Amino acid sequence: MSYRSVFQPDLFKDHTYIVTGGGSGIGRCTAHELAALGARVALVGRKQEKVDAVKAEITEDGGIASAHVCDIREEESVKATVAAIIAEHGGLNGVVNNAGGQFASPLTGINQKGWETVVRTNLTGGFLMAREAYTQALSKTGGAIVNIVADMWGGMPGMGHSGAARAGMVNFTQTAAVEWAPSGVRVNAVAPGWIASSGMDNYPAHMKNWIRSLADAVPIKRLGTESEVSAAICFLLSPAATFISGDCLRIDGAASQGGRVWPMPKAKNNEPWNGFHRAVTPKVLSED
């Protein structure tokens, strides 16, 4: 089997894209779709075995990928990694700033170290990667950057550190879109809602029931798929989006649009799109 993309074959032929957090979840799926569309994909992650595994998958499927270990929170590491990717692939066309992470806690349970760690991962790291991609390559050739954020509109109770960082990333996206536009660089963001992805299995056991109940809070009454996020990312990277910059596309089944006060009956006619042939259902959703 191969990735079933809705986009035309070879859409990204001879293009190179960095995908941070490419060893799992949405990053892994996006890397597969980009590779299936002809791109050379530079997988960036903190664990060698994870990016190596996805590189092997892409190679087995006939695509081109390289694996790079980098802590995106460390400036010198980011500089060196971006330089190595450009040298290996002969250029760069864009970045998918997907790497991120957080832990569940009320604000009163977050100490300074925990707060700063999440902000560095979800905001500072994305800034460093985008800045280096721009200064080392995209400022000369043009290109596109897509930052992955989250549904933080109306606050993010239980994950306030992540909400603050993601809101900052949206503002950075808007600022970069203006400052870098003269170089032909577009900068956008996507905000996934509740997506059935491997990250759901990283939360503690006491959150399982809550995770399984999330679909009820979505107006279309289901979780999203990794493929549905990847398709939006690929669109924003594509020539069809060349007049879109500084925007943030919410991929959440309208969950952020006031469902708390509007009655939500049983939904219909909303089959999910799942073109990822290697997608795996999170254990938390498949266990009894």
> Tens digit of pLDDT per residue, the chain (288 long)?
789 999 999 999 999 999 999 999 999 999 999 999 999 999 999 999 999 999 999 999 999 999 999 999 999 999 999 999 999 999 999 999 999 988 889 999 999 999 999 999 999 999 999 999 999 999 999 999 999 999 899 899 999 999 999 999 999 999 999 999 999 999 999 999 989 887 777 777 777 887 888 888 889 999 999 999 999 999 999 999 999 999 999 999 998 886 566 667 788 778 888 888 888 888 778 765
| Nearest C-alpha neighbor of 213 from the set 222, 224, 203, 226 | 222
Contact 145, 94 (CB under 8 A): yes
Instruction: Give the whole-angstrom CA distance, residue 42 versus residue 136.
Output: 15
pLDDT at 259: 59
Cα 227 to its chain centre, rounded Å, is: 11
pTM confidence score: 0.92
Contact 226, 279 (CB under 8 A): yes
Strand, coil or helix: 89: helix
* Single-letter amino acid code for the residue at 207: M
The token pair at 269 is: 């006619």
The token pair at 39 is: 């791109």
pLDDT at 29: 97
pLDDT at 271: 81
Phi first, then psi: give them for residue 44, nearest 5 degrees. -120, 130
pLDDT at 35: 98
| Nearest C-alpha neighbor of 77 from the set 44, 118, 28, 100 | 44
Instruction: Give the whole-angstrom CA distance, residue 208 versus residue 231.
Output: 28
The token pair at 37 is: 């569309």
pLDDT at 237: 98
pLDDT at 20: 98
Instruction: Give the whole-angstrom CA distance, residue 47 versus residue 30.
Output: 18
* Single-letter amino acid code for the residue at 99: A
Helices (H), 18-143: 25-36, 48-60, 75-89, 112-119, 125-133, 139-141
Domains in the chain, start-ordered, CATH in brackets?
A: 16-254+266-271 (3.40.50.720)
Instruction: Give the whole-angstrom CA distance, residue 191 versus residue 9.
Output: 26
